[in-house]
Amino acid sequence: MSNLSYKELVTKTVLEQTENSHWSYEDALKRWWINPRRDGGLRLTQMGDLEFRFAQIEYYTHDFKAKITKSYHSFMLELDRKIKCPYYIDVNKSDKSNTPYIRLYDSRISMMLNLYGDIDSYLNSIRKK
């Protein structure tokens, strides 16, 4: 049995999916994730998101309208702790409204986010053990 963390396993699988990838495994771990530590969150960098889409990994995009009542950093740490799938946060620059969005690479979490209606309600429903 392998000692790979979920992040390492996902990185290895996406690399295998993109046959002509110019990334080494170590570079992919460092450059695809906002927090490259083994136990860090699953938020993707722009390069990571691009590679996931290049590998044709299914994703779901949602509006990202969060009511941040704590500090920005506390909110981002909460996202890292509670969202258990690779995700990417950005602003839609194609329209002039510059609306933020979150792209989730997991259908179950996306469905739950839809059911709760917004990211705040979804995060509040998750209890950290």
Residue-level pLDDT, tens digit, the chain, 129 residues: 468 899 999 999 999 988 777 889 999 999 999 999 988 999 999 999 999 999 999 999 998 887 777 788 888 899 999 999 999 999 988 777 788 999 999 999 999 999 998 898 899 898 765
Asked if 7 and 33 touch (Cβ cutoff 8 Å), the reply is: yes
Q: What's the gap between Cα 59 and its chain centre?
A: 10
pTM of the model: 0.89
Q: Which residues contact 51 (CB under 8 A, 6 or more apart)?
A: 14, 18, 21, 23, 28, 32
Domain boundaries, the chain: 1-57, 59-129
